Amino acid sequence: MAEVEESSKPLFAGLSDISISEDIPVEGDISVPLGSQNADNDLSTLDEPVKDTILRDLRAIGQKFVHVMYPKKSSALLRDWDLWGPLILCVTLALMLQSGSADSEEDGRPQFAEVFVIIWFGSVIITLNSKLLGGTISFFQSLCVLGYCILPLTVAMIVCRIVLLGGSGIIGFAVRLIVVTASFSWSTFASTAFLADSQPANRKALVVYPVFLFYFVIGWMILTFSPSH
């Protein structure tokens, strides 16, 4: 296409107006990063030290964390998904939501399994919802995005535990409320920045609402957490 345009511009000047002809290289672009990455990796992974392999994966996870913290509209989080980050975040959050002694039966706090199930089941339901509404994103991409976007809430959980060390007065509660609200809106904003593009424009609200509810419930669990004494 480009050759034609270069060689005989006056003849085919009208062709440059056709948007479809410019779409074709973009479609092809989907397979390009996979190929280039394979060329990077496939030879070197055989005889490299285990440390390098692990470090490379960790670096990939870290890069995705950075992408969540600065949610600019890049597709890096979508292109090569992994579920390591979501697993780490989910386990961290669920462990931190445990209070020191979870032995009493009358204790109504969310248990480890409940947090775990809510996060994974919730993101699966949201993913199915967006697929049923006609989203173009794949199943695991969406799971990956939703899982990585828990990061601000996990950070909020750490802050909340530190604040709770100082006692749970009115000021402590106000600080926790602000932190959790900020991280909740951050999570929602980041995930919609990644997910909303894959939806038809007239259905974006329908996809964003479940995401909002999901992070709201997680934020609620973090805000109401209080360690038992």
Partner 1 sequence: MANTDFHLQFQEFEDDQGYVKSNQGSTTVTIDDPIKSRKQRKTTGTAPEEEEIDPLDSNDQTELLSGEKKSAPFWTFEFYQTLFDVDSHQVKNRIVGSILPWPGKNFVEVYLRSNPDLYGPFWICATLVFAIAISGNISSFLVHHGQPKYKYVPDFRKVTMAATAIYSYAWLVPLALWGFLTWRNRKIASLVSYSFMQIVCVYGYSLSIYIPAVILWIIPSEGLRWFSIVVALCLSGSVLVMTFWPAIRDDKPRITMAIIATIVILHVLLAVGCKACFFSTYEMDPSEDHNEPLRTTNSLSST
Q: Tell which one of 2, 6, 10, 14 touches partner 1 (CB under 8 A).
A: 14
205 touches partner 1 (CB under 8 A): yes
Structure tokens, 40: 């990077």
Q: Tell which one of 4, 11, 18, 69 touches partner 1 (CB under 8 A).
A: 18
10 touches partner 1 (CB under 8 A): no
Structure tokens, 15: 């062709």
Three-state SS sequence of 149-186: CCHHHHHHHHHHHHHHHCCCCHHHHHHHHHHHHHHHHH
Q: Tell which one of 19, 39, 51, 169 touches partner 1 (CB under 8 A).
A: 19
Site for partner 1, residues 68 to 127, rule: CB under 8 A: 107-111, 114
Classify residue 226 as left (phi > 0), alpha (psi -120 to 50) or beta: beta
Altogether, the residues listed in the chain come to a count of: 229
Report, in Å, the least distance between residue 101 CB and partner 1. Answer: 13
At 108, phi and psi to the nearest 5? -95, 15
* Start-to-end Cα distance in the chain: 72
Residue 24 or 69: the one with the smaller Cβ distance to partner 1 is: 24
Residue 33 or 134: the one with the smaller Cβ distance to partner 1 is: 134
Cα separation, 203 vs 135, whole angstroms: 9
204 touches partner 1 (CB under 8 A): yes
Angle separating helix axes 170-195 and 151-165, nearest 10 degrees:
170
Cα separation, 99 vs 189, whole angstroms: 30
Site for partner 1, residues 120 to 139, rule: CB under 8 A: 129, 131-134
Residue 53 or 224: the one with the smaller Cβ distance to partner 1 is: 224
31 touches partner 1 (CB under 8 A): no
Report, in Å, the least distance between residue 170 CB and partner 1. Answer: 12
Binding site for partner 1 (CB under 8 A): 14, 17-20, 107-111, 114, 129, 131-134, 202-206, 209-210, 213, 216-217, 220-221, 224-226
